[in-house]
């Protein structure tokens, strides 16, 4: 189920730019990180294109659909900063995010695959991965379900600059809307 999004874990970009001292706070760094996705900044789009192009199970039309789904997903991401805690050169920023809930759609696709396999066969009676991908992408595209998650972003201060620590798999899955709750 997570295969469709699994490669995206590496695509969660931790871009940083110098914002000046006023914006050198843990909260501002987390806001910058999340805003890069909402605004589809050029680094996010470059990484997104690289990831989509590596998806070998998709034909070119499916890759375009997949890219569009992810772009919309990033733009639809909303968040609320709940709390910032600083302890020396370490900080945690608690954020409530709301994203498209793709978990249900991916689960539904897998259920359909196992219960209706005959619908996904080609004219020779062989499973047609392309038909299944079209079905799965259609479910993702039509998804209107939303879900809220809490993420605790960790940051470290290096040379007087707050830097977002690498996100773990659970945090990445929450941002992508594929966390199984």
- Structure-derived torsion over alpha carbons of residues 14, 97, 148, 57, reported in degrees to the nearest 10: -30
Largest CA distance in the chain: 65
Helix (H) or strand (E) holding 97: strand 90-100
pLDDT exceeding 70 applies to what percent of the chain?
88
Has residue 20 got a pLDDT over 60?
no
Among candidates 88, 80, 101, 87, which has minimal Cα distance to 30? 80
pLDDT for 49-60, tens place per residue?
Answer: 988 988 899 999
pLDDT for 143-156, tens place per residue?
Answer: 999 999 999 999 99
Indicate the pLDDT class of residue 14, thresholds 50, 70 and 90: very low
List the structure tokens of 45. 């789009």
The lowest-confidence range among 21-25, 67-71, 104-108, 152-156 is: 21-25
SS3 111: helix
Distance of CA 113 to CAs 58, 74, 100, 133, 179, Å? 17, 27, 22, 10, 20
Give the per-residue pLDDT at 51: 80
How far is Cα 136 from Cα 109, in angstroms, rounded to an integer? Answer: 5
């Amino acid at each position: 189920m997570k295969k469709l999004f699994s490669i995206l874990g590496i695509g969660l970009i931790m871009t940083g730019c110098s914002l000046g001292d006023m914006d050198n706070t843990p909260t501002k760094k987390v806001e910058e990180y999340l805003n890069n996705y909402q605004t589809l900044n050029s680094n996010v789009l470059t990484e997104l294109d690289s990831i989509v192009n590596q998806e070998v199970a998709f034909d070119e039309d499916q890759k375009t659909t997949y890219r569009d789904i992810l772009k919309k997903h990033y733009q639809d991401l909303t968040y609320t900063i709940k709390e910032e805690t600083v302890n020396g050169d370490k900080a945690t920023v608690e954020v409530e995010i709301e994203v498209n809930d793709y978990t249900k759609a991916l689960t539904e696709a897998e259920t359909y695959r196992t219960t209706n396999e005959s619908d996904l066969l080609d004219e020779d009676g062989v499973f047609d991965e392309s038909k299944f991908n079209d079905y799965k992408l259609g479910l993702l595209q039509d998804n209107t379900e939303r879900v809220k998650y809490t993420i605790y972003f960790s940051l470290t201060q290096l040379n007087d600059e707050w830097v977002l620590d690498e996100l773990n798999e659970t945090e990445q899955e929450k941002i992508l809307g594929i966390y199984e709750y």
